[in-house]
Structure 1
Amino acid sequence: MSQAPTHLRIHQFAGLKPGPRLLVTAAVHGNEVAGVGAIQRVMALIDSGALTLLQGTLTMIPIVNPLAHRLQRREGERNLNRNLRVNPIPQDFEDRIANRLCPWLADSDVLLDLHSFNNPGPAFAMLGPRDNDGDLEPFRHQAAESALALAVGTGRIVEGWLSTYALGLKRRAANIGDGSRRMALQQDPHYGVGTTEYMRSQGGYGITLECGQHADPQGPEVAFQAILRTLAQLGMVAPDQVQQADPNRPVELLQLYEVIDRADVDDRFEREWASFDALALGERIGTRADGTPVLAPFAGRIVFPNSKAEPGHEWFYLAKPSDRVLT
């Protein structure tokens, strides 16, 4: 393999009036590229004068994981969007990226992180917890984050990421593992902390926007419109410069409540699932290698099904309707 990349390319537009500090990121996973071109389009609009920055600071990182992006795969040496934190003694490429990325997150007020996913399905936004003073993810920006999730324009919003991971960690911690650093990271209490979780831990807020399936031709447009709508939501550009989302559109709000790991390479799905396919109570989702059925414990939806997941990694998530009210 050629030499690993030795830098991050970061672009910043500093408005002459003070205002919000927005960070927009893409290609945290190297093969999730919908946001890469979208960021370039926004930069071109600002450079040409077609889009005017009224206030604040806009920072954009079009390729957060250049090694994974160069290799055209999700990870370079490990998943950057899990166990994201400053590493005084970096052990791999993603540790070195984290050491540069985390200060940018900490120095921002708001994050828009652009992703995509494996299976076909519509774009959706992921937001964080409700306001709380708990130990897992204390938070105080529920209203602002909810408003941002609505503003980007998707028809589906999902909550409950880190609390769901906490449940999975309890099970994963019971496994002895193979002694590898990858397995040790998966059993670390910080596993599950990615860009938005780190952002919230530093006092800010943000959303993950899943722009559709990796190769969806509409993905770059979803990402582009989301950046513009985020800028308008924060008052950083004039509303009349942006195609606003329909405020009367129906929005489905779901809560993740379970993550199921693949235990064996012979664990198999009952059929080819797509994200947000409906599940009936007791419906057979898959079968373990020993023949044990994997059944839906509630009526709801399957999220991020991954038929290629490695043993010990996330196989799929389960979601059900949320009782949260977004305003």
Structure 2
Amino acid sequence: MSDHPTHLRIHQFAGLKPGPRLLVSAAVHGNEIAGVGAIERVMAMLDSGALTLRKGTLTFIPIVNPLAHRLQRREGERNLNRNLRVNPIPQDFEDRIANKFCPWLAASDVLLDLHSFNNPGPAFAMLGPRDNDGDLEPFRHQAAESALALAVGTDRIVEGWLSTYALGLKRRAEKAADGSRKMALQQDPHYGVGTTEYMRSQGGYCITLECGQHADPRGPEVAFQAILRTLVLLGMVAPGCVEPADPTRPVELLQLYEVVDREHADDRFEREWASFDAIAEGERIGTRADGTPVLAPFGGRIVFPNSRSEPGHEWFYLAKPSDRVLS
């Protein structure tokens, strides 16, 4: 038996009437499994006739990274959700998966990518840039993507991933490389590109749905309802199979503006942070190994704090209220 999985499992339901091409993916990070069971549950409904596909093409990839999933950890040999692209000369398992996965993304119109996170916290959606003609992430589907982010039902939506990540990449590029492939990947300008960024580069639109903390028992239900709500939004299944998200609910919209790397193994947080804990301007978030304080430049929230991050990797993100209007 091979030490590594030798195939990627893909399921497709082709409606007899033309319509959107939706791809739903999970376990891009192997220990983020909320979406795996949710996908299996929706497929069972389609197979039994409890749910009817009215039009379009629905593709499910329940375990995008089977090696990381088998190992019950985030990565197999590297982070699949960074440097995602077709690799003519694959160097590792994730490169080989990307070579199979990227064409499925390119062949789709819409992506719902299901994830979870380390620290306790509520589910939230991440959407892409506003319509623009810039060099970093040109985009033309702001309205459709905003509608998708609202439809899945979370009370918090976050924007600004790639522009914020680019700031961190610029800082990393200024540091001396050690010649390793790992360092080369971290300093690659393409490093911030994952599933949704690749999808947008191919002309589609998408959201990342963070279904809560990895072990949160509510995560699979969040993922399940999001899949059904997406299908209803796109007209691919009839309304009534799921309770729609309350359109009048208050939604907190945040914009990422900073990513801070851990520089040394002795860098430490001031306290145990959870995603979206409130922070005040000037509040001490942590302390560097040499005693230098790490302070919040603005009031807002901390996102994805990771006390176990390796030096040279993201330690935490900062977000502030966004002026974007979702309708």
Name the TM tier (shorter chain).
over 0.9
1:242-281 mapped onto 2 (5 Å cutoff): 242-281=242-281
User: What does residue 208 of structure 2 align with?
Assistant: 208
Shift of 1:101: 0.4
**Long gaps (5+) in structure 1:** none
**In structure 2, C-alpha distance between the alignment counterparts of 1:193 and 1:62, rounded to whole Å:** 21
The letter of the residue matching 1:89 is I
SS of the residue 2:274 aligns to: coil
After superposing on structure 2, the runs of 4+ consecutive aligned residues of structure 1 that deviate more than 2 Å are none
SS of the residue 2:165 aligns to: helix
User: What does residue 14 of structure 2 align with?
Assistant: 14
1:81-96 mapped onto 2 (5 Å cutoff): 81-96=81-96
User: What does residue 218 of structure 1 align with?
Assistant: 218
**In structure 1, C-alpha distance between the alignment counterparts of 2:182 and 2:225, rounded to whole Å:** 36
**In structure 1, C-alpha distance between the alignment counterparts of 2:156 and 2:54, rounded to whole Å:** 30
SS of the residue 2:197 aligns to: helix
**In structure 1, C-alpha distance between the alignment counterparts of 2:159 and 2:197, rounded to whole Å:** 12
SS of the residue 1:240 aligns to: coil
**In structure 2, C-alpha distance between the alignment counterparts of 1:22 and 1:101, rounded to whole Å:** 14
User: What does residue 235 of structure 2 align with?
Assistant: 235
User: What does residue 199 of structure 1 align with?
Assistant: 199
Q: Over residues 107-165 of structure 1, what are the superposed CA-to-partner deviations in whole Å (9 max), with x where a residue is unaligned?
A: 00000000000000000000000000000000000000000000000000000000001
User: What does residue 150 of structure 2 align with?
Assistant: 150
**In structure 2, C-alpha distance between the alignment counterparts of 1:182 and 1:58, rounded to whole Å:** 35
SS of the residue 1:103 aligns to: helix
State whether structure 2 residue 148 is matched by structure 1 residue 181: no
**In structure 1, C-alpha distance between the alignment counterparts of 2:179 and 2:306, rounded to whole Å:** 24
TM-score scaled to structure 1, two decimals? 0.99
User: What does residue 315 of structure 2 align with?
Assistant: 315
**In structure 2, C-alpha distance between the alignment counterparts of 1:77 and 1:180, rounded to whole Å:** 14
The number of residue pairs the alignment matches comes to: 327
User: What does residue 289 of structure 1 align with?
Assistant: 289
The letter of the residue matching 2:121 is G
**In structure 2, C-alpha distance between the alignment counterparts of 1:39 and 1:180, rounded to whole Å:** 37
**In structure 1, C-alpha distance between the alignment counterparts of 2:176 and 2:55, rounded to whole Å:** 52
TM-score scaled to structure 2, two decimals? 0.99
User: What does residue 302 of structure 2 align with?
Assistant: 302
**In structure 2, C-alpha distance between the alignment counterparts of 1:237 and 1:195, rounded to whole Å:** 25
Shift of 1:177: 2.8
Shift of 1:262: 0.2
The letter of the residue matching 1:19 is G
**In structure 1, C-alpha distance between the alignment counterparts of 2:303 and 2:115, rounded to whole Å:** 15
SS of the residue 1:13 aligns to: strand
The letter of the residue matching 2:82 is R
Q: Over residues 17-74 of structure 1, what are the superposed CA-to-partner deviations in whole Å (9 max), with x where a residue is unaligned?
A: 0000000000000000000000000000000000010000000000000000000000
The letter of the residue matching 2:232 is A
The letter of the residue matching 1:133 is D
The letter of the residue matching 2:280 is A
- Give me the CA root mean square deviation: 0.8
**In structure 2, C-alpha distance between the alignment counterparts of 1:233 and 1:265, rounded to whole Å:** 46
User: What does residue 40 of structure 2 align with?
Assistant: 40
**Long gaps (5+) in structure 2:** none
**In structure 2, C-alpha distance between the alignment counterparts of 1:200 and 1:76, rounded to whole Å:** 25
Shift of 1:180: 1.1
The letter of the residue matching 1:286 is G
Shift of 1:239: 1.1
Shift of 1:294: 0.1
**In structure 1, C-alpha distance between the alignment counterparts of 2:79 and 2:268, rounded to whole Å:** 23
1:99-138 mapped onto 2 (5 Å cutoff): 99-138=99-138
**In structure 2, C-alpha distance between the alignment counterparts of 1:37 and 1:175, rounded to whole Å:** 42
**In structure 2, C-alpha distance between the alignment counterparts of 1:223 and 1:178, rounded to whole Å:** 40
**In structure 2, C-alpha distance between the alignment counterparts of 1:24 and 1:182, rounded to whole Å:** 29
**In structure 2, C-alpha distance between the alignment counterparts of 1:267 and 1:128, rounded to whole Å:** 31
Shift of 1:240: 1.6
Q: Over residues 295-319 of structure 1, what are the superposed CA-to-partner deviations in whole Å (9 max), with x where a residue is unaligned?
A: 0000000000000000000000000
SS of the residue 2:240 aligns to: helix
Shift of 1:2: 5.5
Q: Over residues 69-118 of structure 1, what are the superposed CA-to-partner deviations in whole Å (9 max), with x where a residue is unaligned?
A: 00000000000000100000000000000000000000000000000000
